[in-house]
C-alpha cells in the first residue's frame, strides 16, 4: 500500500520537473533567438546565412518547447504529449553529440546561456541532462494513463498514505546527483584535453616525418619560397603569390608543399576550422594553399649566423636570407623544427602546452614554462622571437 500511495506524488514531482525543464529551455531560446539560430545553422549547414528562415526555425523550436512543457504540466494529452517530449529529447541529443564532437562549436545554451566560444563541455553536460530527462519521460509513459487529468490534479485526488517517497526526497536526490556531476566536470575536461593534446602531438610527429621526406626528395633542402638575398622580395608557392613578409608567410604556409604529397592527413586536421574558406573567399587562394596551425621554425629560412649574437656576424647581411639544409641542424634531439599554435592571427597562444616536433623525428608537448627565453632572439621581417621559432644560433643552436 505504501508503494501505491507514493506513486502519485512521485509522478507529480517528476512530471512537474520535466515540464519546467522544457519551459525553461524554450524561454532561454526565445530570449536569445539570434544566438540559438547560429547553433541551428551550425547543425544544419546552409541554413544560417542571415536569412529569416534560420531565425524563424529557431523561434519555432523555442515556442514549441515552451508549449510542450506547458502541456506536460497540465497533463493535456498525457501519453501522446510525453511520447512527443521523448522524441524532442532524442532530437536535441543528436544535435548535442554533433556539437560535442565538433571543434569550435558554439555553446548549446543547454543551461540558459549561449556563447560564441566552444561549448563542448556544456554539450556533454547537456547530454547527461537529456539522458536523465529521457529516463524520467519513459517512466512517466509507463505509469501514466491515457487521459487528460492534470498531473498536478492526480496528486490531489489520490489519498495520501504513510511511507510514501516524498517530493523533498526526490529533490534531495537530484541535488546530490548535480553535485556529483559538478565534481566530475574537471576530470572530464582534463581527460578530453589530454586526448586532444595527444592527438596534436601525434599530428606534429606525422608532419615532421613528412617534412623529412620532403627534404630527402629536395637534396636535403628545407622548403623555401622567398627571394634569396631579398627579405622584401616576392614569396611564391606553386605560382601563388603570398604576402611579402619573409618569415611569417613561409612559416605559416610551408605545409602547402608537404600536404598531401608527403603527409597523408586531411586538411581539417592541420588547419583551424574555417581557415580554408577564409583563404579561398577573402584571399582567392586555390585549395592547395594551406595555412597550417603547425608552424615550421623560421630558422630554416636564414643562415645560422643570422640568428647569432656574435658581434662579428652582421645579421643585416643579405646573404644570410637563403635556404638551409637538414644537415645544418647540429643538435637534432634538442632543436625543434615544428611547433603548434605558436601565435594565431590575434596573437593568441595555446595553453597549457605547445606540441613540438624535433629534428630527430620525436615530438612532445612542453608547457610554456619549459621554454628558456634566453634561447630565442628577435629578428625583423616576421620573426616572433619565441623559442623554437627563432632559436639563438639558428639550426646550429638548440631549444631544450
Across the 400 residues of the chain, what is the mean pLDDT of every consecutive 10-residue run? 59 82 81 73 60 71 83 72 85 82 67 52 78 84 59 44 50 57 58 78 94 95 96 95 95 94 88 85 92 94 90 75 96 95 46 85 88 90 90 95
Indicate whether 207 belongs to any domain: yes
Same domain, 148 and 245: no
Determine contact, residues 342/386, Cβ cutoff 8 Å: yes
Are residues 259 and 326 located together in one domain of the fold?
yes
Number of structural domains in the chain: 2
331 and 258 share one domain: yes
CA dihedral (218, 224, 227, 231) in degrees, to 10, reads: -150
Same domain for 155 and 214, yes or no, is no
Q: What is the pLDDT of residue 80?
A: 81
Q: Judge contact between 29 and 112, C-beta under 8 A.
A: no
Final residue of a structural domain among 144, 165, 186: 165
- CA dist 94 and 114 (Å) reads 18
- C-beta pairs of 132-140 under 8 Å, 24+ apart in sequence: 132/177, 133/18, 133/21, 133/89, 134/86, 134/89, 134/90, 134/93, 136/14, 136/17, 136/18, 137/18, 137/82, 137/85, 137/86, 137/89, 138/86, 139/14, 140/11, 140/14, 140/15, 140/18, 140/82
**C-alpha span between 304 and 307 (Å, rounded):** 6
In a domain, residue 349? The reply is yes
Residue that the C-alpha cell 602546452 belongs to: 353
Together in a domain, 7 and 98: yes
**C-alpha R_g of the chain:** 29
Q: Do 242 and 113 sit in the same domain of this protein?
A: no
- Do 159 and 237 fall within a single domain? no
Examine the fold and report which residue of 165, 181, 211 is the final residue of a domain before the chain moves on. 165
Residues 78, 71: Cα–Cα separation, whole Å: 8
- Domain annotation covers residue 217: yes
104 located within any domain: yes
Q: Report the alpha-carbon distance of residue 45 to residue 277 in Å, rounded.
A: 14
Spatial contact of 288 and 379, defined as CB atoms under 8 Å apart: no
Domain of residue 50 covers: 2-165
Same domain, 388 and 245: yes
At residue 158, the pLDDT reads 43
Confidence (pLDDT) at 157: 41
Please report whether residue 18 resides in a domain. Answer: yes
In a domain, 274, yes or no: yes
The Cα–Cα gap between 165 and 2 comes to 9
Domain-ending residue, one of 165, 183, 218: 165
Query: Is residue 178 one of the residues assigned to a domain?
Result: no
Alpha-carbon distance 87 to 98, whole Å? 17
Which three cell numbers, joined as nine digits, stand for 119?
561549448
Identify the DSSP state of 297. P
3-state class (DSSP) for residue 212: helix
Are residues 246 and 131 part of one domain?
Answer: no
Q: How far apart are CA 332 and CA 98, in angstroms?
A: 41
Which residues in the chain belong to E strands, given as ranges? 235-237, 240-242, 294-296, 336-340, 356-358, 363-364
Give yes or no: residues 23 and 74 share one domain.
yes
- Residue 127 sits in the same domain as residue 251: no
122 shares its domain with 218: no
Residue 328 in domain: yes
Amino acid at each position: 500500500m505504501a508503494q501505491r500511495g507514493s506513486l502519485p506524488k512521485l509522478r507529480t514531482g517528476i512530471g512537474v520537473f520535466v515540464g519546467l525543464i522544457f519551459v525553461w529551455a524554450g524561454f532561454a531560446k526565445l530570449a536569445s533567438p539570434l544566438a540559438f539560430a547560429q547553433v541551428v545553422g551550425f547543425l544544419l549547414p546552409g541554413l544560417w546565412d542571415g536569412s529569416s528562415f534560420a531565425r524563424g526555425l529557431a523561434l519555432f523550436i523555442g515556442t514549441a518547447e515552451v508549449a510542450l512543457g506547458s502541456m506536460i504540466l497540465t497533463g493535456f494529452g498525457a501519453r501522446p504529449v510525453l511520447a512527443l517530449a521523448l522524441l524532442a529529447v532524442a532530437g536535441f541529443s543528436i544535435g548535442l553529440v554533433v556539437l560535442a564532437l565538433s571543434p569550435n562549436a558554439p555553446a548549446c545554451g543547454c543551461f540558459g546561456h549561449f556563447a560564441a566560444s566552444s561549448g563542448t563541455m556544456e554539450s556533454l553536460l547537456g547530454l547527461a541532462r537529456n539522458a536523465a530527462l529521457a529516463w524520467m519521460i519513459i517512466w512517466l509513459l509507463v505509469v501514466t494513463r491515457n487521459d487528460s487529468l492534470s498531473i498536478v490534479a492526480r496528486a490531489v485526488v489520490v489519498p495520501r498514505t504513510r511511507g510514501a517517497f516524498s517530493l523533498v526526497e526526490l529533490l534531495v536526490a537530484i541535488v546530490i546527483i548535480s553535485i556529483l556531476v559538478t565534481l566530475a566536470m574537471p576530470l572530464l575536461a582534463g581527460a578530453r584535453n589530454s586526448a586532444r593534446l595527444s592527438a596534436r602531438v601525434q599530428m606534429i610527429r606525422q608532419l615532421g616525418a613528412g617534412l623529412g621526406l620532403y627534404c630527402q626528395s629536395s637534396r636535403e633542402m628545407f622548403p623555401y619560397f622567398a627571394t634569396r638575398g631579398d627579405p622584401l622580395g616576392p614569396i611564391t608557392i606553386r605560382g601563388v603569390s603570398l604576402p611579402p613578409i619573409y618569415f611569417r608567410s613561409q612559416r605559416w604556409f610551408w605545409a602547402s608543399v608537404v600536404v598531401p604529397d608527403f603527409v597523408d592527413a586531411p586538411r581539417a586536421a592541420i588547419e583551424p576550422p574555417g581557415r580554408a574558406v577564409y583563404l579561398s573567399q577573402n584571399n582567392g587562394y586555390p585549395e592547395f594553399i594551406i595555412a597550417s596551425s603547425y608552424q615550421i621554425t623560421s630558422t630554416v629560412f636564414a643562415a645560422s649566423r643570422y640568428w647569432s649574437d656574435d658581434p662579428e656576424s652582421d645579421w643585416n647581411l643579405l646573404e644570410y636570407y637563403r635556404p638551409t639544409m637538414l644537415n645544418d641542424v647540429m643538435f637534432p634531439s634538442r632543436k625543434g623544427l615544428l611547433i603548434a599554435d605558436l601565435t594565431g592571427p590575434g596573437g593568441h597562444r595555446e595553453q597549457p602546452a605547445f606540441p613540438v616536433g624535433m629534428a630527430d623525428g620525436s615530438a612532445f608537448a612542453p608547457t610554456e614554462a619549459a621554454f628558456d627565453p634566453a634561447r630565442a632572439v628577435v629578428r625583423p621581417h616576421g620573426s616572433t622571437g619565441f623559442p623554437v621559432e627563432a632559436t639563438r644560433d639558428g639550426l646550429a643552436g638548440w631549444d631544450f
